[in-house]
Amino acid sequence: MHPNRIFHTQTEHDNLAFAAQRAFGVLAVNGPEGPMLSHVPFLADGTSVWLHLVRSNPIARALDAPLAATIAVSGPDSYISPDWYGVPDQVPTWNYIAVHLRGVLEKRPSDELRSVLDRESAFFEGQLAPKPEWTADKMTPEVMEKMMRAIVPCHFRIEDVQGTWKLNQNKPDDVRLRAADKVEANGIGVGLSALAEMMRNA
């Protein structure tokens, strides 16, 4: 998280809503040889996150007991050139959205897996409308059962939420808006139009 508090003005509700909508992040736990990381889709419902891991994933293998964990969720981002501000004596920076969820990760019983998978696919398929929704019922039972044996359901209890929304809030409005236009037209990063709109509304 960026240390400047001006970039931490979003509420916990806003940060959770962003993480829930993005629904993809980096899961991190401490391992015996250093941090263990896994990129995971997930479902967040306010106080809980549900996800699944392949059994061979080092994090899944370490879950004999609940572990302290963090899920880092990244949003749109871009390099910001000093020239884009239109005022002198500026330096390069990077604008971005990031939310960190801290809490406790635990492996859940295998009989909870189908519910987790069905809810995950329903959430993501719902965003593809009007495409007809894919459901696990389209799988042959034998193939579905074989695939499910390879993964485990996990629950993450959210204990702390922190967010950085670095959108040039430390600049005068006219300077920030000029930079937003340049981000949308010439930015280097991901989600440039979304980032520019967030900068305009900061």
Q: State the pLDDT at residue 69.
A: 98
What does pTM read for this prediction? 0.93
Residue 168 lies inside a defined structural domain of this protein: yes
Exposed, middle or buried by CB within 10 Å (0-12, 13-18, 19+), for 5?
A: exposed
Closest residue by Cα to residue 62 from 147, 150, 161, 152:
152
Confidence band, pLDDT 50/70/90 cuts, at residue 161: very high
Residue 169 lies inside a defined structural domain of this protein: yes
> Which uninterrupted H or E stretch holds 71?
strand 67-80
Residue 129 lies inside a defined structural domain of this protein: no
Residue 33 lies inside a defined structural domain of this protein: yes
Q: State the pLDDT at residue 183.
A: 97
Confidence band, pLDDT 50/70/90 cuts, at residue 32: confident
Q: State the pLDDT at residue 157.
A: 98
Query: Is 113 within 8 Å of 151 (Cβ atoms)?
Result: yes
Q: State the pLDDT at residue 125.
A: 97
For the chain, report the end-to-end CA distance as a whole number of angstroms: 18
**Of all residues in the chain, what percent carry a pLDDT higher than 70?**
100
Residue 72 lies inside a defined structural domain of this protein: yes
> What's the CATH number where 44 sits?
2.30.110.10
Q: State the pLDDT at residue 12.
A: 96
Confidence band, pLDDT 50/70/90 cuts, at residue 121: very high
Query: How far apart are alpha carbons 153 and 110 in whole angstroms?
Result: 7
Structural domain that includes position 67? 5-112+152-200
The answer for residues whose C-beta is within 8 angstroms of residue 177's C-beta and 6 or more apart is 199, 200
Residue 126 lies inside a defined structural domain of this protein: no
**Over 90: is that where the pLDDT of 35 sits?**
yes
Residue 134 lies inside a defined structural domain of this protein: no
Task: Tally Cβ neighbours within 10 Å of residue 177.
Answer: 16
* Packed helices 141-148 and 113-126: angle between N→C axes, nearest 10 degrees: 110
Give whole-number Cα distances, 132 to 39, 55, 129, in Å.
Answer: 27, 30, 7
Q: State the pLDDT at residue 1.
A: 87
DSSP state of 3: S
**Number of domains making up the chain:** 1
Residue with token string 């994090």? 59
Taking residues 14-21, what's their average pLDDT?
Answer: 97
Taking residues 87-106, what's their average pLDDT?
Answer: 97
Q: What is the pLDDT of residues 123-158, one digit of tens each?
A: 999 999 999 999 999 999 999 999 999 999 999 999
Tokens of 62: 């370490």
Using CA atoms in the order 52, 53, 54, 59, what is the torsion angle rounded to 10 degrees?
Answer: -160
**Over 90: is that where the pLDDT of 176 sits?**
yes
Q: State the pLDDT at residue 46.
A: 84
Q: State the pLDDT at residue 177.
A: 98
Residue 58 lies inside a defined structural domain of this protein: yes
